[in-house]
Amino acid sequence: EEEEEEEEKEEVVVKVTEEKSAITTKEESSELGSLEALLYECEQSPEDVKTIAEEVKKAKDPKSKKKSLTVEKIGEGTYGEAYMCDNIVLKVVPISDEKKSTAANPKRGKENVENGTEKNSDEEEYPQMVASEIRAEVAVAKRLTKLQPHVVAPKAKNVTDTFVPLDRVAICKGPYDKLLLKAWESFDFRKVSENENPSVWPKDQLYVVFSTRNGGIDLENFNLHDCKEAFSVLLQITVALAVAEEACGFEHRDLHWGNVLCKRDKVHVENDNTKKARLNGVDVTLDTYGVTASIIDFTLSRVEIKDESDVVFCDLSLDPELFEGPEDDAQSETYRRMRKALNNQWGASCPQTNAFWLHYLADTLLTKKEFKMSPNQKLSLEKFRMNCLQYDCAADAIWDPLFAGMWSSGRK
């Protein structure tokens, strides 16, 4: 056990070529598989690569009176796990430097079979992202963080705090952290995880660890009291997408109800239940009715870092299974609508994809969430759902009658 602890404390150096280069342009995108480019994106040198345990320690709240860190697993995806560490969220994603032949059609560990026979555990390859894929997500998260009010210049034309900002991102190497493993096992006991226990990863495994603030509870599990709260969540998401469309050609492309977080505002005398943004130089004030919405997870997103020639995106044409969901499922239909609108060319700009996801969210509120709503209010939401399929972008949806009286604007 002491040897393991010493191993975790060791500084692990990742071997890369001596010459660093930032891979950013569309023409160079084929070279994004190098670990070197990911290190550059994370603003790390090979000597800065430490263990996950060291990143977990940094998540401890300095104001907390507890001596130990409180860790809980709060979610999972095909490629990674999300943990709440005190009030900081850590997203831990295993990665590889080289693209393996099976990576284009990955399967979760527990479902990884060939010809109906489970693969031998010594030979089994668990799903992980390659450096180029995760580098794109890092780049998108960093670009959206630059839209935060405390980051942008005072006279910036586009501002929003609805995208959960990236506090820190780091490449790590070594054994999985023991605290995270305990949290994973507790989650698996309560809910049964679809992923393999992270203890299966080798002791020299590479990871990317994202550190963000706590944005709240996902829309799937959040209790909406009435239609004012529901419509406000839709409005906040719509305005944020519109701001990011204008600022950097942003398209989320995977905005299901697990990627929308909600949090009840703390009650203060000075709290007027409003939220502010700026769209193309126009200041916008939104009514929140006590609920603040946030957007997370940019794994499949597209964004322009500097201009239209400098784009990062996820090529979903490499994942045909994503489009094979049931015909009566709103989320599956949204993936197929995007593919058709883009003609399967995922690097292209098509902000209509954001409107498609607003259609999905409206459908989700109508069919999967319960809250107080009159027949006329339900009709307005149904019309919004229909209108979103005609809008060219999220910015068009701001003017929908559903949001009448819920926002105001004025140019500075």
The pairing of strands 71-76 and 206-213 is: unpaired
Do the Cβ atoms of 394 and 245 come closer than 8 Å?
Answer: yes
CA separation for the pair 194, 73 (Å, rounded): 13
DSSP symbols for 82-135: EEEETTEEEEEEEEESS--TTTTS---GGG-EETTEEPPTTT-----EEHHHHH
Nearest by Cα to 264 from 236, 235, 224 = 224
**87 CB-side CA count, 13 A:** 8
Closest to 397 (Cα-Cα) out of 254, 240, 181, 175: 240
Task: Take residue 24 and report the two structure tokens written for it.
Answer: 């950013």
The number of helices, as runs of H, and strands, as runs of E, in the chain is 10, 16
End-to-end CA separation in angstroms for the chain: 62
Vertex 350, ends 385 and 367: CA angle to 5°? 20
Active-site annotation holds for 254 = yes
Residue 321 is classified by DSSP as G
Residue 251: strand, helix, or coil: strand
Given 161, 177, 254, 363, the catalytic residue: 254
Query: Cα separations (Å) of 160 from 4, 248, 274, 294, 363?
Result: 44, 13, 13, 10, 25
Instruction: For residues 46 and 369, give the distance between their C-alpha atoms in angstroms, rounded to a whole number.
Output: 47
Contact between 55 and 90 under an 8 Å Cβ cutoff? The reply is: yes
Structural element, H or E, at residue 49: none
Residue 252 · residue 298 · CB < 8 Å:
yes
> Active-site residue numbers?
254
